[in-house]
Structure formats: C-alpha cells, structure tokens
Amino acid sequence: MLKQAQRAYNFNAGPSALPLAVLEKAQKELIDFKGTGMSVMELSHRSAAYEQVHNQAIASLKELMNIPEEYHVLFLQGGASTQFAMVPMNFLPQGKKAGYVVTGAWSEKALKEAKMFGDTYTIASTKETNHNRIPKLDELAYEANTAYVHVTSNNTIFGTEWFTFPDTGDLPLIADMSSDILSHQIDASKFAMIYAGAQKNLGPSGVTVAIVRPDMLERANENVPTMLRYDTHVKNNSLYNTPPTFGIYMLGLVLEWAKEQGGLASIEKMNREKAALIYDVIDQSEGFYKGHAEKDSRSLMNITFRLASEELEKEFLAQAKQAGFVGLNGHRSVGGCRASTYNAVPYETCKALSEFMINFQKNNA
Ligand SMILES: Cc1ncc(COP(=O)(O)O)c(C=O)c1O
C-alpha cells in the first residue's frame, strides 16, 4: 500500500488532497460495501444501506460544525456556482435588495448571478487593492430593505479569509464557505445559510453542501423550478432525485476522519501550524517572497505569494515541479504562486515546501 511519503506534495486549489486514510478505506470497501456485494456506487439510493451513509454524513457534519439541530443540511449538485443563482432565486424577493461583500472573483460571480434575479448592491469591495484584504467590520453598511447579506468566507484565488464575521442582526447572513468549510471553528448559528462545493475540505467534486436555517424557507420565493428550490430538497432529505451517492459516501468518510483528528478545534490548530510554516518563510525572507494578502487577512487555506520577477517565479515553479510539488501556480489574476493547504494536506508536506522555499532563496538571492 502507498505510504504518505510516496504521495505527491499536493497543493492543488481544488479538487485537492484527500486524507490517505479515507482513500484507503474507500479502496477497501470499493467492491463490497459492508457485505452488500457491491460498491456504494451500485447501491440504490432508496436502499437502507445507502440511506444509512446519507444520514450519517448529515449527522457528522452537524456534530463537527456544531450546527443547530433545527437547521437543514442538504446535498445538492451543480457546484457552488449553482448556489450563486439559487440563493437569489429563492431568497431575493421583488422590492428588496441583496447586499454583497465583494472580496474576490467568486464573490463577483455570485453578485453577477444575483443581478439576474433582482436588485443588488455592493456592501463593500476590496477590488481597488486587488482583493488583498478583508474589509473591516466598520466598513460594512447595509441599506434599508436588504433581503440578505452575502459574504465569501475564504477567497481561494487571492488568499484572504474572514475570521470575524459581521453581526447582521435580523438580516440573514449567507456565506459561500467553499474553500474553508471545516477548517476552523465558526458559530454556525450566526448564519442563515452556508454553502460549499465539496472539492476542497469535504471530499470529491460533485456534491455541494447547503446548510439552511428553517425560517429562510418560509420567506422563499414562489415560482422557482422544482430542482432549484431549497424546500424540495428539505422535504425529501436531498433524495428528491438521485443524489451523487459516491461523493456523499466519500464526504461521510472525510467527516469521520475529521472527527478522528479531534474535530474542528484540533484541525484549526493544525491548519494554523501548517500555514505558519510557509508564512514564516515569506516574512523572514526580507522581501524575496512577497505575500499578496495583508497580514491580518491571510488565509489559512490558500497562501498567495510573489517573487521579484516573473522569470524568477517561473524558475521557482519549474524547480518546485521537479522536486515533486504539485499545484503551486498562482491564479492568473494574482500571478506568482499559491499553496493551498487544506485540511488533508499533511504537516510534512507544508514543512517540505517551507524547506524548499528557504533553499531556493539561498540559491537565488
Ligand atoms: C470560494 C469559491 N466559491 C465558489 C467556487 C466554485 O465552485 P464550483 O466549482 O463547485 O462551482 C469556488 C471554486 O474554486 C470557490 O473557491
């Protein structure tokens, strides 16, 4: 069996690393899941064996994130990108406005979709400084008649992350947590809704998690197509149509693994230690590496940095590739490099990158 040491140094932004223990469990159960004589992929989604997988995954997510009992946990399809449209379709009524905090490309996309369904406004934007920070809470001003407030909790491309969320009072707070769900503790009860594509911290792509406070369903718009209504999936426990059963099974295994790590408090501690390995190299490099994000906005999940010139960046990425590091190219809107240090990226992998960065500087300063 493959050891962790033989696995790639995977810093992909998503889909991204999965825990080795999860992959091994799935491998073991692949052709005979719990004595059924078939894989989870081959089970009927109406079978008791599958339903157990499905309901256990919901229960595990509620337990790990300390989600209030009455909240609904849904498994949807279409990625977080479909949520960009489903949120306003369901929760933006005529005569109200949806407020968006624009902290990166994904929030811009979410806002663009909302504009197709009704009135919107930008609560705050960090575009002027190429999204290198999270706005201060006192920069956020809400207009009268706001239907909901939308934030992107972690900006995958720019490498910034919210750690203190605004208190929006009676205004429903909705967060796209695609790239930092399950990475640190949050107070889920502050949110009217949370959504996330699974392919970073939750499992493989193909499943989208939505966590919805029940009162949101009462205020939802009528005349929304069946598959795009949250209440369809609530009423049917996400089994209205055929769900992505194997993805949900994998997600369930990832959640079991997260519990074995000691839950979100331990995972957060590990993520802070991992990110510090790389941020410390950046900070101690005397400008050889330049972090994109302002220090107090730095993401624990996506570490973005540049070198002095594009040639040097090219050389860094070429040598990193040679040394076995995968996925370090920055997104074109920031340039440079990005290391995605999601939950399943081991400490040793981050340590190896920090050592590589130190050596590269020594040889190229
Ligand atoms: C913060 C954020 N939101 C939304 C998306 C889009 O997700 P999907 O590809 O599941 O539609 C991504 C993808 O990387 C993301 O990082």
Strand spans (E) along the chain: 9-10, 72-76, 97-102, 119-125, 146-152, 154-155, 160-161, 173-176, 193-197, 208-212, 290-291, 302-306, 325-326, 337-340
Nearest CA to ligand 1 atom 2: 178
Q: Is position 319 annotated in a ligand binding site?
A: no
Residues 292, 185, 217: CA angle, nearest 5 degrees: 105
- 106 Cα–ligand 1 center, Å: 7
Instruction: Say what the pTM is.
Output: 0.98
Q: Is the pLDDT of residue 168 over 70?
A: yes
pLDDT at 56 over 90: yes
Atom of ligand 1 nearest to the CA of 81: 11
- In this prediction, residue 5 carries a pLDDT of 78
Annotation: CATH topology of 264-364? Aspartate Aminotransferase, domain 1 (3.90.1150)
| Share above pLDDT 90 across residues of the chain, in percent, rounded to a whole number | 98
Confirm whether residue 106 is marked as ligand binding.
yes
Could you state, in order of their start, the residue ranges of all structural domains in the chain?
24-260, 264-364
Q: Which of 12, 16, 75, 81 to mutate to test the pocket of ligand 1 (most atoms within 8 A of CB)?
A: 81
Q: If you average pLDDT over residues 7-17, what whole number do you get?
A: 97
Residue bearing the CA closest to ligand 1, atom 4: 80
SS3 state of residue 320: helix
Q: Say whether pLDDT at 140 is over 70.
A: yes
List, for residues 252-268, the tens digit of each pLDDT value: 999 999 999 999 999 99
Q: Which CATH class is domain 24-260?
A: alpha beta
As a whole number, the mean pLDDT across the chain is 97
Report CA(35)–ligand 1 centroid distance (Å). 36
Longest distance between any two alpha carbons in the chain, whole Å: 63
pLDDT above 90 (res 181) = yes
CB atoms within 10 A of CB 44: 12
Distance from residue 154's CA to the centre of ligand 1 (Å)? 10
Residues marked as catalytic: 106, 176, 200
